Structure 1
Amino acid sequence: MAAVPSRAGATPPRTPPGQSRPRFHHGVASGDPLPDAVVLWTRVTPRPGDDPGTGRGPVVDVTWEVAADAQFRRIVRSGTVRTGPDRDHTVKVDATRLTPGTWYWYRFRCQGSTSPVGRTRTAPAHSAATPRLRMAVVSCANWQAGWFTAYRHLAERRDLDLVLHLGDYLYEYAPGEYQARDVVVRPHDPPREMTALADYRRRHGQYKTDPDLQALHAVAPWVVTWDDHESANDAWAGGAENHTAGAEGEWRRRRSFAQRAYAEWMPVRYEAGGRLYRRLRFGRLASLSMLDLRTYRDEQVGSPVDPALGDPDRTITGREQFRFLLDGLADRQVQWKLVGNPVMITPVRFPNALDTRLADGISTLVDAPLPPVQGVPYNVDQWDGYPVERARVLGHLRDRGIRDTVFLTGDIHSGWACDLPIDGLTYPVNGNSVGVELVCTSVTSDNLDDITNSPPRTTSRAVETAFKASNPHIRYLDFDSHGFSVLQVTPAGAQMDWYVLTDRTDPNAAAVHSVSYRVRAGTQKVEPAPRRLV
């Protein structure tokens, strides 16, 4: 196995004076595996100073190679593509005519320089009786809030078929913003909020200099979607909470910059102006429907008691994506219907009045006003703010007798394992669960203990107990931890293991197994798993 880059490599090597050879400062990546194809990605720096977002540098030819072995003795596919400042010197190739269910190695060459070697894997053939699918599940990685140690621990496992990133791959804020404990571990670049195309490109470039992020990109294909911070906080079709039209220009223009940089810098089968939501399939075992819940949604309501919540025309998905989601859930050619879901779909009601400081902490965590009234939705930025459309999704599962549906979710900087009832207020006395939701915590972004400036696993426990008492379909909740999850899907069931970091601000932090939950095939309910995955 190739060694994981050491933290000493956090700063990319400088190009020696007078040397014009490209450097692959930003690593390599792959994504969106199909049975016969996978997306390959890198970025070249042709000359010193041709940095992300500068718009400088010559057009260059880049050769790519895919091999059946790590030594590249058996090269099975290769080609040459051209890149330049028009796409920020990024390279994205859809390598085709590959063999299903196969590990490959890949690299890039440009003017005498060779990139690091990456490893990737194609999806099984659609007709394959796949015995197992294992993936990392991550979201919410704020560069300023901590080190990406979670990525390093995942890269060291080497047992992953893919990495699922559910959004907030990067953050738009200026240095020092969005820091609950007022500790900036490493400041954002550029030193301002992202609004222009050059800003988004430069920030993507900064994140991809992290050696732990590079290591995880290099060991397995990624499947990604965006949430809001890839553009601006609480984004919707016509704007965002963190966007001021007068000072920051027209929203659609800013969003187009964000989406263009995302298309350039991420290993995803997407180009700006296209459709990010898509579906991947892993034999007869599982499909994975990746959602975009920012581009098409109606604006969030002003409060959880707003009468507009009952408007039947309000949408979080948009009409076409809604049909896409329902069609995927009804697919009888696969057993497990997995949904890459950027914000929670589980109905969550605010519990009895909490301590004011803790209630304010919850309000800050979800970035919304929270009247401490029992029974109202606690976060209208997620599916709770679009309850009629959610009811149609859950009713679709119930009415068609669809089984083995798992929503995989990020965004909320906390770990959850939930049943999905039609009516959360009367569950489980009246009605059954129609699916489950498993939510990963943040890689580094602030959690409740950070916001309340409390020691981890102290004051938040009372909040978790209150939420579970008011929402009996919530089986597990951790408001404090940072880390990652690992999900395994087999014909017998799906299980998620949660791992937590000992300290997000320590580059040498350990990752400790916290808890495991599973859903057995056909049950539509989560339960504690007797042991972690091996």
Structure 2
Amino acid sequence: MFDQFKRRSFLQAVVAVAASTAFGCSDDENGTAPSDDRAKYFPQSVASGDPRADSVVLWVRAVDPDNASANTQVRLEVSTGEDFATLVLNEQFSALAQHDHALKVKVTGLSARTTYYYRFTFEKNGQKFTSATGRTRTAPAAGADVPVKFAFASCQDYIGRYFNAWQRLLQLDPDLDFIVFLGDYIYETTGDASFQSANGLRTVVFSEPEKALRMGTGLRAFYAANAVSNYRDLYKNLRKDEVIQRVHERYPFIVMWDDHEFSDDCFGATATYTDGLTDEKQEERRRNAEQAFFEYIPLDTANSSAGAVAIPEQKDLYPNTRIYRDFDFGKNLKLVVTDFRTYRPDHLIPEDAYPGTVALTEEEMRAALPALPAAVQPAVQGILVAPTFAYVNIDDAAYAQYKQGLLGAYVQQAMQAGLTQEQAGAKAGAMVKGNLSLFYVNQVVPAINPARRAAGLAPLELISAEGAKRGISYAHMGKAGLFGIQGSRYIVIKPTFDLFATVKYLLAQAGTPPQNPQNALGDAQRAWFQQSVRADNTWKVIVSSVSLTSMVFNLEGKTDIPDASLRQQFYFNVDQWDGFPTEKQALLGYLRGAGVKNPLFISGDIHASFASVEQGVPTLTAPAISSGSIKELAGTALLGAGYGSQTSVYNYIVNELEKTMTAAHPGMRFADGDAHGFVTVEVKADEALATFHLVPSSEIAKDYTLRADSELEAKFTTKQFRIQNSDITAI
């Protein structure tokens, strides 16, 4: 399909036919192999999702390319038998052209814990064409004391990579009740060189590139989806992959979105491509992304009634959408599916934060000091006297020349980043003001003085910290540049960031009315969450698209690192729950305080495998299906920052990533920053068993569909764990 040589295409076709037979689903009523017309009229095959004890959502995209502007009439047949001898549903539906011929049907009145087979048929000129046969399963009845087994996975970048992890799942053919997909089902970019590596075979080309966002320059140029057609192209292209088609044909999916369904590291409707250089609030783009998602994902919109599931129009989408929801699978499992992206605020350190700005004043620290944990108070008292944390009001007349120099330096840097002189001047006026940290200002002063000397002005002296107030600036948390991810979304200094987040949280909570600056779930979802986790089911498995496992690099005392400023504790990624540490603590504290028994978080996003206990709550993080591993991404970032593979920094963060993180996190039970794969979980009345299925990142750019099953099998390893009594132990 992606190769110009006919022999390769022929072999792929043979493999596809053999695979569909092995999966146990007949291809049509006569048991014959699929024809070319099947791919023509049902190009993305079929899928099912959101299974409940009495219902499931079935999906198809049915299109007649000879009449693409017209609605497509299809018949849905559902049976308990693979031979379709007896039908529980036999009904006509219309796949609407306005929704790209995507159709979702909610079938109700079904029996609990029952396997159903389904297929769609299309008639043209007296000839009937039949989709592949899908297989799905309903949930166990309420109160049924039965084990429940599922898989969870995330992050399936198509560009230059293959879905070998899904292929391995199909080889194993486990008896799963469902699959949870945690987010990043598609990636919105067509070849972002910072993390995507096209090999010429796995590419995406937009049908309407003029409607997309053009990003990058020269050979590094790529597109990001913007229009509805762009986002639809991403789903259509990915779902033509035969491996993922087979997975959808075999298992029902429960899907949550994360960021790449819209835009990388987004919050609400705001993208982060320019890191604060421009205003990236894009509500129409967000709604376009959501529309395509609802069209292509077999998700039950607003717990609809039987029949065709309404796909929301743009006016009914962001900010009015709600996809957080829960499911009951008998007595032993309540699945609580949360939405981290839609309602969350901006990152606590904005990407365009001026490094010198004091984010936490002396007055704020003193006001919060009595409410801070006793173990933290000595550190705060130390900050309140340390010269490193001194700051002044740069608007005081005594510092007028300093402010003028800082404004000039800001304009120069902002113009280098891409702003016009007028834009840079306006931005400088908005940023270079008020309380500024001497830790930052005194680093800029030497860079200002050459221009002053050239203008015949006396050089500025460093500002003394004597008598100055103390506070924490963005620079103290790792923010060095005007616009960028370092010190805002990634590589944030942990102790100062934690203190900043805690004090701001406490002060906001004590305000009138109380506020929550870290309100990642939003008020309505938090109330729903607190109610859902109090269910009587044995296990409360909580789906979070982003990881709860704290990812810390503790480089304190690493004397082989020449730069002393790097010998600190860093959060690797504060786009996940580490970015809202006080809210995370409150969330986990609620579970403990409310006496919620057997909570278990499952998550993804970070392209690594973790098993950890977070403040007494077990947490599992799945690796990526195909997206670049955290080791790959961290290595690329460090090389770009000038830290070669032979440096000690590179060694601790890349080569010894697992060792470094485990040493910094007493609750870490397992870490793997290189492998791809998925996780299977079986919940029982007295324990949950989790198995990580892992393949090295070196194998993801290889197409295993043309190789013997044994070759892929040999590349996979497993790690098994038991979750019991709020702990995780290796088996």
Q: TM-score range by the shorter chain?
A: 0.7 to 0.9
Please name the residue that 1:444 is paired with: 626
Deviation at 1:3, TM superposition (A): 5.0
- How far did residue 460 of structure 1 move? 3.9
| Equivalent in the alignment of 2:155 | 140
The counterpart of 1:47, out of the listed 57, 65, 68, is: 65
Residues 3 and 518 of structure 1: CA distance in aligned 2, closer, same or farther (over 3 Å): farther
Q: How does 1:247-286 map to 2 (within 5 A)?
A: 251-270=282-301, 271-272=311-312, 273=317, 274-286=321-333
- The 8 Å contact of residues 118 and 133 in structure 2, kept in 1 or not, is answered as yes
Contact 2:37 2:129 in 1 (8 A): no
CA deviation digits over 1:150-191, x for unaligned, max 9? 112212333221111100011011235343667565112327
Matching residue within 74, 86, 98 for 2:98: 86
Q: Structure 2 counterpart of 1:60, which letter?
A: T
| 8 Å contact from structure 2 (residues 257, 339) kept in 1 | yes
Q: For residue 340 of structure 2, give the secondary structure of its aligned residue in structure 1.
A: coil
Distance 2:593 2:151 in 1: 32
Instruction: Select the structure that is richer in helix.
Output: 2
Deviations 1:235-285 (Å, cap 9, x if unpaired)?
112402137999998511100001110000001112442311000110110
Contact 1:347–1:384 under 8 Å retained in 2: yes
> What is the DSSP-based 3-state SS (H/G/I as helix, E as strand, rest coil) of the residue aligned with 1:235?
coil
Aligned match of 2:335 in 280, 288, 306? 288
CA distance, structure 1, for counterparts of residue 77 and residue 248 of structure 2: 17
Does 306-315 or 160-169 show the bigger shift? 306-315
Whole-Å Cα distance in 1 between the matches of residues 276 and 526 of structure 2? 29
Match of 1:378 in 2: 572
Q: Give 2:555's aligned residue.
A: 352
SS at match of 2:611: strand
C-alpha root-mean-square deviation of aligned residues, in Å?
Answer: 3.0
With over 3 angstroms needed to count, the CA separation of the structure-2 counterparts of 1:309 and 1:243, relative to structure 1, is: same
Cα distance, 1:247–1:84 mapped onto 2, change above 3 Å: farther
The one-letter code matched in structure 1 to 2:544 is N
Q: Displacement, 1:5?
A: 4.3
Give the Å deviation of 1:449: 3.6
Cα distance in 1 for partners of 2:625, 2:727 equals 26
What CA deviation, in whole Å up to 9, does each residue of 1:52-107 have, x standing for no partner?
xxxx4211222111101111011112322212221110010000010001001001
Map residues 104-253 of structure 1 onto 2, 5 A cutoff: 104-111=116-123, 112-130=128-146, 132-158=147-173, 159-179=175-195, 183=199, 186-190=202-206, 192-242=223-273, 251-253=282-284
TM-score, normalization: structure 1?
Answer: 0.84
Q: Secondary structure at the match of 2:104?
A: strand
Aligned ranges 1:449-528 → 2 under 5 Å: 449-451=631-633, 452=635, 460-502=654-696, 503-508=699-704, 509-510=712-713, 511-520=715-724, 523-528=725-730
Superposition deviation, residue 461 in structure 1: 5.0
Asked whether the equivalents of residues 176 and 187 of structure 1 are also in contact (C-alpha less than 8 Å), the reply is no
Closer/same/farther in 2, CA of residues 226 and 419 from structure 1, 3 Å limit: same
Distance 2:703 2:665 in 1: 37
Which residue of the partner structure matches residue 358 of structure 2? Answer: none
Q: Cα distance, 1:348 vs. partner?
A: 3.5
Q: Which amino acid aligns with 1:32?
A: D
Counterpart CA distance in 1 for 2:720 and 2:652 is 21
**How far 1:347 moved relative to its partner?**
3.3
Q: Residue 540 of structure 2 aligns to a residue in which SS? A: strand
Bigger radius of gyration: 2
Task: Report if aligned partners of 2:48, 2:57 keep a CA contact under 8 Å in 1.
Answer: yes
Output the CA distance in 1 between the equivalents of 2:194 and 2:94: 38
SS of corresponding position for 2:546: coil
Amino acid of the structure 2 residue aligned with 1:165? F
Report whether the alignment pairs 1:34 with 2:52: yes
Q: Confirm or deny: 8 A CA contact 1:195 1:248 kept in the other structure.
A: no
Residue 60 of structure 1 corresponds to: 72
| Distance (whole Å) between structure 1 residues aligned to residue 231 and residue 88 of structure 2 | 35
Question: In the alignment, does 2:348 pair up with 1:301?
Answer: yes
CA distance in 1, matches of 2:660, 2:275: 37
1:300 aligned counterpart, secondary structure: coil
SS at match of 2:572: coil
Please tell me the residue identity of whatever aligns with 1:525.
Answer: D
1:400 aligns to what?
Answer: 594
Q: Is the 8 A contact 2:541 2:602 kept in 1?
A: yes
- Name the CA shift for 1:246/1:180 in 2 (closer, same or farther; >3 Å): closer
| 8 Å contact from structure 1 (residues 133, 490) kept in 2 | yes
Per the TM alignment, residue 387 of structure 1 is displaced from its structure 2 partner at its CA by 1.9
Checking the alignment, whether the CA contact within 8 Å between 1:464 and 1:479 is kept in structure 2 is: yes
After TM superposition, give the deviation of residue 4 of structure 1 in Å.
Answer: 2.4
The 1:213–1:396 alpha-carbon spacing in structure 2 relative to 1, beyond 3 Å, is: same
C-alpha separation in 1, matches of 2:40 and 2:158: 26
Deviation at 1:296, TM superposition (A): 0.4
CA 1:245–1:43: 2 relative to 1, 3 Å = farther
Shift, 1:376, TM fit: 4.6
- Secondary structure (helix, strand or coil) at the match of 1:255 reads helix
Distance (Å, rounded) in 2 between the aligned partners of 1:450 and 1:347: 19
Task: Name the CA shift for 1:100/1:241 in 2 (closer, same or farther; >3 Å).
Answer: same
List gaps (5 residues or longer) in structure 1: 7-11, 51-55, 359-370, 422-432, 530-534
Gap change, CA 1:75 and 1:148, over 3 Å in 2? same
Q: Which runs of 4+ in 1 moved over 6 A?
A: 243-249
Tell me, in whole angstroms, the C-alpha distance in 1 between the residues paired with 2:99 and 2:164: 30
Matched-pair contact (CA < 8 Å) for 1:414–1:477: yes
Matched length: 485
Deviations, residues 452-487 of structure 1 (Å, cap 9, x unaligned): 278xx9984512111111111011100001112211
The answer to which of 167-176 and 301-310 deviates more is: 301-310
Give the Å deviation of 1:224: 0.6
SS in 1 for 2:50: strand
Residue 210 of structure 1: how far off its partner (Å) = 0.4
- Identify the residue that residue 367 of structure 1 maps to in structure 2: none
For 1:478 and 1:339, locate their aligned partners in 2 and report how far apart those are by CA, in whole Å: 22
Instruction: Give yes or no for contact 2:602–2:621 (8 Å, CA) kept in 1.
Output: yes
How far apart are the structure 1 equivalents of 2:197 and 2:227? 28
CA contact (8 A) 1:4 1:156 kept: no
Q: 1:243 to 1:76 in 2, by over 3 A?
A: farther
Using the alignment, how far apart are the partners of 1:395 and 1:88 within structure 2?
Answer: 45
Q: In 2, are the aligned partners of 1:301 and 1:308 still within 8 Å (CA)?
A: no
Cα-to-partner distance string for 1:388-431 (whole Å, 9 max, x where unaligned): 2212211112212222111000000000000121xxxxxxxxxx
- Residue identity in the other structure for 1:505: A
Cα distance, 1:515 vs structure 2:
1.2
